Structure formats: structure tokens, C-alpha cells
Structure 1
């Protein structure tokens, strides 16, 4: 048995470039395999900002209004009618991907590369896949991951982006005893620092153009920080592993220059579509491994466990929290990396 739900609920909807609204949307009847989740917190992601500021995230272009949000946690208020998924009252994190078959080949153990994959709050396909920045959301029960009793929902709001960072670090292999360089210390970069610290990296250097992200990076485990324009100092790091999370070709250039010979550069920051200038000759002569990193798979389970046992320390990454009534202000703060890390929306406030 669930609770009595209202006829409509407020949601964050992107209508197009520079057109973000908080509006009441009618609640629809869930499918047989969908649970109704009362959303507690949602983290504003870079893709959410892009849909607002540009009407697109990379090549995913808004063609109709879309509910944003994929970094979400909440409480199950109605279990799926088919009996699957967690029961009523269970706190849950959400794995927002739905792998699907497609024409392209991909490794079976890497469903994140599924060509037909959809993601909550994504305009990659049409009709778009609505996100869950709403007071209540109908979500497939297979997306729901029960949370341990000792993991509070506010901390758990970082499960999804921390899983992205975890996947990126895992792409580099064993980092124990190695020197690591993180280019771009926004939320994903800061979380990569935290994951690297937990994984046993001997020395972690974080880079950013702003002081606030570097301050956060130090709090979660960076041994040293550098400004993005300190080219010589970055090159002198000679990192065994570099996590490029800036999403700019300037950051990728710093990543390649900062990697030691035979090192690995993991590219998790999504660069704009189209050709990009890259120091390929340097990557060749140093025999660097350039590795892409896209979303995540089952790492979410490990992240939840690590957050619950305290071995993954991420608290400083969250810098602001706004209730939904002030959601537009929250987006305005989140777009400024000089003053914010991860900005949360509190849907219960």
C-alpha cells in the first residue's frame, strides 16, 4: 500500500535555451514495473546546465520541454505493481540508465556503451527521456538501489556522480602507490580525487582555474593543487594516471603534458562535438594510453558501500542546497564554478 498522492507535483522543466521553469505537472499512472519514488534530493549536473543555457548538451538537442534531473535519491512510496523492486518506505538511489539493443556492436559486460541506451533527463533520443527533478517520479524498479540505514539521503545524493568518477578511476586500473593528476576539479573532478584517495594513490595533484574547486579538492584528498595556467608546473607532475574532467581541449592538452612516459590519460570530461586540437604527437612519443570514460555500470553498488562505511569521503563536494521553490536560483549558483561545487535541490523543503 502506498500513500495518497496529489493530482500534480512541481518539476524542473527545460523548455529551450535560457528557458527553465518550475511548473506543476500532472502525475501519471505508473507502469506495472514502475515504483513511485518521493524525491528527496537532486544534484544539478553539467548536462542539466547545458540544456538550460544552450538548449542542448553536446549533440543532444532539446526538441520539446523535458523534465531535467538524473542525480536523485528518495523514498519509495508505492512499490511496482508487478512486485519487483524495494518495498514502501525504502530509501533508494537511482541508476538512471536503460541499456537497449542497437545496430552497433559493444562488449556485453559494458552496457554503458549500448547504442540504444537512454538516460533520465536526456534529449539524446526523441521522444526525450524525462528526468526526475519532480516531487514524485515513476521509475522502473530495476533502477532503484536500496540504501543502507547508516547512509543519509543528502550524502547519497552524490551516488550517481561518484559512480561516474569511480568508473573513470577504474578505467586507469590499479592506482595504488602511483602519482595521479586531476585536470578540472569541479564536482566530478573532486569526486575523482576522493576515489583516487580511497584507491591508494600515493600523490594526487588537482588542477582548476578557480580557487573554490581547488579548496574542495584539497579537503577530499588532494596533496597539492595548481592553477590551470601553471603549464610548467603541471607538466612537471609526470603523473602515472591523469583524469581529465575539465571537458575542454585546453584541459586535455594539460593532461597529456602532465602525464609521464607510458602513463594513462582517462578522458571523462565531455568535450564539445566536432574536431578538437590535441597533442597527439606527444601522446605517441610518450606511448600514452588515452582512455575514454562514459557514465558507469555496476560501480554504483561499490560506491554505495564505500559511502556507507565512510571509506569514500565526499562531504565537502556539496556546497549549496536550495528548496525547489528557489530552484532557478540554485541553477544560477550551480553555473558558477568560482563559488560552487555540487548544488542540491531539496524536494522536501
Structure 2
């Protein structure tokens, strides 16, 4: 029997996060019911909690947060699509609607018609997945191979974001890579660059904790972000900017070698940013944006299952959902935490 209500983590506005009972809607024929095991707290979740908005996506009504998760199918889609009941799954949180905007057909992540779990970009908002049970289209579900545990599988979505950003740089084998910002996405970029055969990976962060995590997943050395001269001296073939602030982007531009590539995955605030952009001209740097992902989550799942992608050190805390406010508080302290998981 599918329950009529479930426990969820709901943002009601800036500074107003509640664990409460919500109605669980009846699944459509193409939808399954998933019992959530773990949910990873993302930077966007933190923004909705602290500020009631992520950029131009402003909360206009209470919204269930969360788009990083793993769980078990408890009721399969009645139309026969997707994994069967009992299957362990992770989730691709995007669905696509028609849009008249122009974008490359092979890059649907760039379509403005994308809806993402736990997003206030549209109204009514797209409810998220931080709930004990959720109803999702079967097309979102990705069955997990044997040997991949649910806790690690909760990292599949952020690892796919990192995989997409690293792949934007092209071949990394034998190259020197600089990762600016060693939070969860930066650390996952380090792990993916290590898997791709980078000969040297330099991770940068203001805090020693994230630098230790970066070392554990493959960084060959680390630098305190405050030592801007040391960062500039890295002379990297490829730079992944994952700090999401203009200081980090400035360091990324200075740390790239002549003719190098800078991939920008850290989401900067709206508006103009004060960065030394002249370096991009005089050094003929390639500046590439990176936004979400497409089907890379399938490669991530395979790599997690076969052990070629080492990410376990990125998870630093697992907190029961009933203590969600504590979990969000810990996740908001970059000096204290990496990826914080809610346990459902």
C-alpha cells in the first residue's frame, strides 16, 4: 500500500526549514514510488534555506528540497516502464518540456524547458526529493548495479555534475590539473580527474578540511587559497573553477598556462564579476561554462560500481532526517563538512 502522507524537508522561506508531514500524491501510470534511503544536501538547498532563493529562482510557496538521492522502488510504474519493485535506484533529477528557445539538440541541459527536482525556477515549483517516499517518473530512475551501496549512490548526481565539467576540458591523461575550490563538487572533480589519468592534480581551498578530502580522492598536492602567488605559479593545462566566487575565478585565470583551458562549474552570483579577464586574451585561454549534466550519470554509476571512481571520503556526515536543521547547519560550514547526507 502506498502511504497517503510522508515526512519531508520543506523550505517555507528564508531561514524557515521544517520537517513535516505532506500528502503523497497518487502515481500516474508512468510513475513509481521510491522509498528514499539517503539525500545529499546541495548548495542550492542551502540557498533556499538561508535566503529563500537561488539567484532568480525565488520561493513563492513552501517547497520540498532535494535532488541528490538514492532509494528503493516500492511500487513500480503501472505501465511497465522503469525498474521493478525492490530495485535499488538513484535518480536523474531533470525532466524536459518543449521550449522554442535555441540550443544544441545534443545538449538538453541547456534547454530552458528543463525542470529540476527541488527548484523554484518556475511556479508552481518543482517539488524535491527530501521525503521518506516520493513519486517520480520511471524515466528518472537509474537501477544500481550489484555492489554499489545506497550511501555511495547518493553521490551519483553531484558526481555527474563534476563528470560533465571535467569532460568539458577534453583529454586529461598526462596533464596538470588545477581545481579551485575543494568543496563536494571540487573534490569530485579531483576524483574524476584522477580516474582520467591526470599526471598532477593541485587542489585549492581556504580550509584544511576540504584540502584533506581532495588529497584522499586523488590530489597530488594542495594549496591554501589565500596563497594566491602559489596558485598562480601552478601553470596548469586545465583549471576547474568550482568555488563559485570571483576570487576563485581570478585565481583560476592566473593559474592556467598559456593556451590552457578554464572550466567554470562554480555558479557565480548574477551581475558583473571583477576578474582579470585580460589573462584570457593574452594567454589565449579557453573559457568554458559547465551547467548540470546530460547522461553522464550513467557513466558515473558504472564507475562507482567498478571501483574506478573513488568518492567515499567526500561524504563526511550522515544525519537522520528528523535532525534536518542540524544537517543543513553542518553542511553550511565549509570548514567542517564535505557532503552531508540525510538518512531517511
Partner of 2:312: 315
Q: Corresponding residue for 2:177?
A: 180
User: C-alpha offsets along residues 100-143 of structure 1, whole Å, 9 cap, x if unaligned?
Assistant: 22121011110101111110000111111000100000000000
Q: Is 2:198 the partner of 1:240?
A: no
The structure 2 residue matched to 1:145, chosen from 132, 142, 153, is 142
SS of residue in 2 equivalent to 1:51: helix
The 5-angstrom pairing of residues 15-54 of structure 1 reads: 15-54=12-51
**CA drift at 1:28:** 1.2
What's the counterpart of residue 204 of structure 1? 201
Any gaps of 5 or more consecutive residues in structure 1?
none
Superposition deviation, residue 298 in structure 1: 0.7
Partner of 1:252: 249
| Aligned residues: CA RMSD | 0.7
Deviation string, structure 1 residues 210-252 (Cα, Å, up to 9, x no partner)? 1110010000000010011111100100000000000000000
Cα distance in 1 between the residues matched to 2:96 and 2:25? 24
Residue 161 (str. 1) matches residue 154 (str. 2): no
Q: Give how far 1:27 is off.
A: 1.4
**1:1-349 mapped onto 2 (5 Å cutoff):** 4-347=1-344
SS in 1 for 2:139: helix
TM-score, normalised via structure 1 length: 0.98
CA distance in 2, matches of 1:90, 1:206: 37
Q: Which runs of 5+ in 2 are unaligned?
A: none
Q: Deviations over 1:318-337 (max 9, x none)?
A: 00001111111101100001
Q: Distance in 2 between matches of 1:122 and 1:290?
A: 27
Q: CA deviation at 1:6?
A: 2.7
TM-score (norm 2): 0.99
- TM superposition outliers: structure 1 runs of 4+ over 4 Å: none
